[in-house]
Structures are given as structure tokens and as C-alpha cells.
Structure 1
Amino acid sequence: MNATVPIHFLDLRDRIASTREPLSRSKHLPGDFYHSADIHAVEKRKIFLDTWLCVAREEEIPNPGDYLTLRVVDEPVAVVRQPGGEVAAFVNMCLHRGVAVAEGRGNARGFSCPYHAWGYDLGGKLKVAPRMQHSECDMQGSRMPPMQCVTWRGWVFVSFNRAAMPFEEFIAPYEKDDKLWWFQTGRTRLAEKLVIEVACNWKLLVENLVDVYHVPILHKGTFGSMVRYGGTSDSFECDLLPRGGWAYDQKARPHSSGGKQMFPTLPWLEGMSDDTSSRAGIFPNVNLSMRLDSLRNWVVWPTSPTTTELHIYLMFPHAAFDDPEFAKNLEVYKAFLHKLVGEDAGMVASLQLAMKSPFFEPGPMSHLESAVRHVITNYLDVVTAG
């Protein structure tokens, strides 16, 4: 999708040259990238309408007819379990006037537009258009725009772009050398999805989630003192993968006050140290995380140039759900997560305010920000291409 790039965006190219310098000379992006409506529009076309996006967990729609809806950079999407068991997705927009035909989530045999009652099957194909018998327009075989849709490790990925690279190629860097051996979500169960609104541009949150530099400082009172990234407290080793991906192992105790384990050990980690932990990121907006007793998927969705919605999927081994104390422990776990996310949310909101200031100048990057730079430079490659 080679869209015309606004002049305002082109004017920034000279100002991002320092970001592409080697890490020891690299600087962060200019503030415009975090509030400009023009740049947000470019990101929508060149990133979110072009690549593969993780939109759901299969468990959320287990039965034929189960569906859920969401908005991706303000485009309406429906994800539906088909009668044969496969998952399909389409742009949730009636072919008559564009009204969304599905709302929220639920189970249906088909969909009916609430405006003029045009009816569709579960795959988005038009079945009935009342009082249109005098129209000479050929509507035979019409359907709401279908999206590419695949499932991977229990997750639903979609793409608006019918010519997007094959998903197997997209995900290959993470499958190579069993890079995500620890992300065995097929052997876990989804407990809950948290949805948190954050007052910042989506990239600030994506960068924050891979920024290890701030962890021992900002999160000192929650989990910062329980995390180690390398041989020393001042080192960080990370696999920088193609197209902005990254993965690394760390030493980190389970998420809880004091690092106490609250749920059974993930089966494939039995016998391993209680500080076993790994993380990975999939461009543009997916962040995967493992502790000894749990898995999480953090998905960052832009809702405007300066606001973001964070979806956190919480997954545990099946044995955890048999524990009579599970519900109580889950509430404690969620409270801890809300606390640490609150620490980040306050900080990125402060960053967001700085981005529009005429006094803001991008600062140099630390050697601990290698993954942050990797994500940013890949982002620049994408939005400045073509």
C-alpha cells in the first residue's frame, strides 16, 4: 500500500538521521512522531492496514457462531467462528450504508444490519436485501470485505491487506531455532483479558514495554528489584529479529508482591529455576511475556494520535483453574498488574505531554535501549518506504 506521504512527514526526514546512527550515537525520535495526525494517518495505511495483526484468542470464540468485534485504527472488524469450526474475519460494514452489522460479542446464526435489515451469513456474505427488487445493481455474491485470517498457537491473526506477505514468512523469525519454545499457549487457558486506556501515543507504550533501562527505577517498588537481564546489572542481551522483532531471556520471579509464586508451574518449565522468564515482541504491537507460572500477551492498539488501548491476555496452566483459591489469587494477581501498569501509564502520559513542547529535543539512547532502537528503526523503514 504505497500511499502519498504528507509533506509535513517528509519535512522530518532530516531530523531522524540521528536515530539511525549506531546505538552509541543514536537519539530518540522527534516529538512530532508521537502526536501528529498526519503521521498517524501514514501509520494506519502503511502499518495497520498492511501487516498481520493479533486480534483475538481462539478461546474467546470457541463455538460455531461465536463472534467478537473490535476497531483497529477506527476500522470495524468482526471475528467469527464458522459452522465448520474455522475462524474468519471481515470488515464489519454493511454493503448498503456502512453500518456495523455486529456489535460486542456473542453467538449468532448470521448478522442483520440494524439500519435497513440487510442480512449476512457468518462469513459476511449477503443473503437478503429487503425492498431492493427495483434496483438494477448486481448484488449476486456480494459480501462484506473479507480479511486474511489465520490461527497460530491459539491466536487469531488478521490482515486487511490481501497481498500481505504469507503469514508463515511473517512469523518465521519466531519459529526459527524454536525462539518461542516457552510460549506454549496451547497448553494454557485464558483466564481474563484486561483492557486499559493509556493517555499516550501507541509507540510510546510499545517502546516502554521493551525498555529495560527504566525497570529498576520506575518499578523499584513492584518488580524492578526482582529482574536481571544479563551477567551484570548494567548489561542487556537481546536477539534482534527481522522486521522489528525481538526476544530475550531474563531472570525474573513471578508477578506478585515479593515475587511469590501464586499458580502452578507451567508444565514445560517443571524443574527449572523459579526466576525463569522470557519475553518477545512482534511488530507492530504485540508483546509476549512468561514467568514460571503464567503467560501474558500485551497488545497495544492506537485509538488516536495521543491515546492507546492496552489489551492484556492472562493465561495459566490448566491445573491452576482447579485450585479452590484460583479466583482469589487471580484478583491479587490482577491488582499487582494494574499497579505496575499504572506506574508505566503515568510515566508515558508525562512523555506524551513533552512530545508537543517546543522545548523537547530527542535525547541520546543508552546501551540498554538496543531493542528500543531496533523497534524504532524498523518503524522508520516501514513508514518512510515508497
Structure 2
Amino acid sequence: MAKDHTDPIKDLRHNTAQPFEAARAMPPSVYMSDSFLNEELTHIFSKDWFCVGRADSLAEPGDYTTCELAGQPIIVIRDRDGALRAMSNVCLHRMSTLLHGRGKTRAIVCPYHAWTYNLDGSLRGAPGMTRNTGFCKDAYHLPEIRCEEWLGWVFICLNEDTPPVAEQLADVEDLVAGYDMTNYTETFFEEHVWDTNWKVLAENFMESYHLPVCHAGTIGGLSKLEDMVCPPGLPAFNYHTILKDDQLRIAMAHPSNDRLKGDERRTTFLLAIYPSLMITLTPGYFWYLSLHPKGPGQVHIRFGGGMSDDYAGDEDAQSNFEALKTLLDDVNVEDRGCTEKVYRGLCSDHAVPGHLSHLERPNYDFAQYLMARLEEGRAD
């Protein structure tokens, strides 16, 4: 934990006041402090859009996923009319959580007393309630949470005043229009918990400076540092790009893709959509991490990925993707080792943040985003 005399907000304010050319990594206190995490949950995760995954994984009525956002248990489900809904995942009787994990259901049944809700959140039935004269089934409906779909991604938000996803991410949509991100199909989804701070993992994704060393056994040799482009970030996201060669064919644009030209056909975008959706987008496949803190020293990870529908008809598409998934699993092992080492180092009394490389521009912009959100929240 951060020492009592440290003020992580003050530490971050001083850190972010520096220009990028003289910037340092964020101070240890912003990773280790319970008070700073509470500020993040209150002013960031309770207010910004959070991604629960891909819409095609919730394709049929009754398909659902669950999550906890800033302490609130939430269900995201496809209703019988085909609409995506987000609702409180708490029974309106004795307040048990209702659904868990991901799956498919015909109705939402409480595991405690079998109160049963329709897929739209209305109460269908409640056994043993006929003698309570105040009970009215029609008065019960699971509270709705904001839910929006954007380019195939499903987002939820606890704040009614936050602008729509499409409005906030219009620049992203323009940037990757040729990839047609809506038409990528998710083929795997997993959930993990790692022993590191959520920001450490987010920052690890945001920079590819670490690839040659951390990923020497996997992808380190496929990407050249001199080919990486790290432009200044925008208010809702940052990104950098990498040029890939054709050693991994499904990272290239499919021959049928006439939307991408020249080097675009081998360009990988690494998109960091604030606060915590990290997308690796190639012309042929994608994978993503959606992060949520579990205390200062742990992060819950929603990890998924799949392929562009451009490749769907190829005979070797499945075998290529299986090989890719094996590679991604190996990359995750390397990233877990690196990010957990960083968190252990941050906990040292001798941890001092060093200067950032020009390849860590996204990390600088991420720190600016965090500071802006916390200042806005405190001003409200």
C-alpha cells in the first residue's frame, strides 16, 4: 500500500504537468493506493462506458453475460425481441445475484427463492407470495442500465449524462473504417485475474516498446521498433500502429478486401479506448482485453478475439486461427509475467518512475486522461 503521507492525486497532478518531451512514468502511489482506486471507481468506472464484449456472442434471445462494474452486478442479455438490454443482476426479493458468467437462458431465475424474471426484466412469477397483501407482481422490474452497441462492441454505462458511445468514438470509427470492425466474429472468450494493477496491464498494451524483450519467444521478432507510429492521443482514446510482414498471413488484408490500400493492408492498430478496452486490430483478426480493477493489486480481464469475416470462407481459416490462438496464449503468459513483475517492483520503497521513451506516447496520454477525469469528478 502507498505510505500514509503520500497523496496520489497530488503525485499524478505533478506528473502530468510535465510536457511529453520530459515526461516520466506515473508515480507508484497511483497504482498502490486504495484511496486512488476509490477515486477511479467513483469518477471513471462509474461514469465512463465499459465494454463487456462482442455483440455476436449475444446473438440469440436469452444469450447473456454478466459483469461487475464499479461494485454493481450487471446482466447484459438479448431479449425476445432481439434487443440488447443491460439490467441490475440483483433479485428484487432478498437481493441475491441472479445470473453468473456467460450462457443462455429462457428466463432469469433467482437461485435463492426462484423468483423468475422475463428476458426484459419484468417479473414473471414469485412462488409463495399469495398471502402478502402488498405484493404486486407488475410492480417488480429489474432496473435498466444504459447499453449501446458500436461497431459490434457492447458497452454499458452507469451514468445517464455520459455522451453516447458513437459520439465519443467517432474518430476511432473514421480511423479504422477500412477494417469494417463490425464484421469480425468472436471465436473465443475467457476471463482471467492477474496479480497486477489494472493500469499496469493497460499501459503494457499501450506501448510496443517492450515487444522485443518481453516477447522475445513469440512475437518480438515480427515487429520492428522503427516501424511503430505513436501519434498524440485524443480525449477518448489513444493508439499506435505497427507494420506486420506476411509471416502471419491472417494478419494481412484478405485478397477480397478492396477497402484497404498499400501499407494499410499490413497495418495493425493497437487501440486503447478509455478507460479500459484494449483492441489489437489487424486486417485479418482481432483480440481484446477489457479490464476492471479488483483492488489495487489485481485486475479482472475479459479476453476475447476472432477473425475478420473476409476470411470466413477460406478452407484453412480455422487451422490458421487455431495457430493464432496458441500464439496469443503464449503472448499472454509473457505479458502476465512482465506485468506482475512491474507491480511487485512498484511496491518497493525504492521504486522511482523513469523517463518515457518516444514509443510510450500512449502511456503519457493515458495519464493525462486519468488526471482529467479525476479533476472533473472532484469539481462536480
Instruction: Give the length in aligned residue pairs.
Output: 370
Cα 1:315–1:272, aligned 2, differ >3 Å: closer, same or farther?
farther
Provide the residue aligned with 1:160 in structure 2: 158
Matches within 5 A, 1:1-386: 11-16=7-12, 17-132=14-129, 133-134=131-132, 136=134, 140-175=138-173, 178-228=174-224, 232=226, 236-243=229-236, 245-253=237-245, 259-262=247-250, 265-266=253-254, 267-268=257-258, 272-273=262-263, 275-318=266-309, 320-385=311-376, 386=378
Cα 1:80–1:97, aligned 2, differ >3 Å: closer, same or farther?
same
Larger displacement relative to structure 2 (41-50 or 67-76) = 67-76
Deviation, structure 1 residue 88: 0.4
Indicate if the aligned counterparts of 2:232 and 2:365 stay in contact, CA closer than 8 A. Answer: no
The runs of 5 or more residues in structure 2 that have no matched partner are: none
Deviation, structure 1 residue 74: 4.5
Structure 1 distance, partners of 2:97, 2:258, is 43
Structure 2 distance, partners of 1:182, 1:71, is 33
Normalised TM-score (structure 1): 0.86
Structure 1 distance, partners of 2:275, 2:179, is 18
Deviations 1:41-76 (A, max 9, x none): 221121112111111211112112222223334432
Deviation, structure 1 residue 10: 8.2
Deviations 1:180-236 (A, max 9, x none): 22442332322212434322110001011011322233223322333246xx46x74
Deviations 1:116-157 (A, max 9, x none): 222211122233333444254777433222110111112211
The runs of 5 or more residues in structure 1 that have no matched partner are: 1-6
Cα 1:99–1:193, aligned 2, differ >3 Å: closer, same or farther?
same
Letter in 2 for 1:68: T
Normalised TM-score (structure 2): 0.87
Structure 1 distance, partners of 2:197, 2:122, is 36
Cα 1:12–1:56, aligned 2, differ >3 Å: closer, same or farther?
closer
Query: Which SS does the other structure have where 1:200 is aligned?
Result: coil
Indicate if the aligned counterparts of 1:265 and 1:317 stay in contact, CA closer than 8 A. Answer: no
Structure 2 distance, partners of 1:159, 1:285, is 13
Indicate if the aligned counterparts of 1:182 and 1:278 stay in contact, CA closer than 8 A. Answer: no
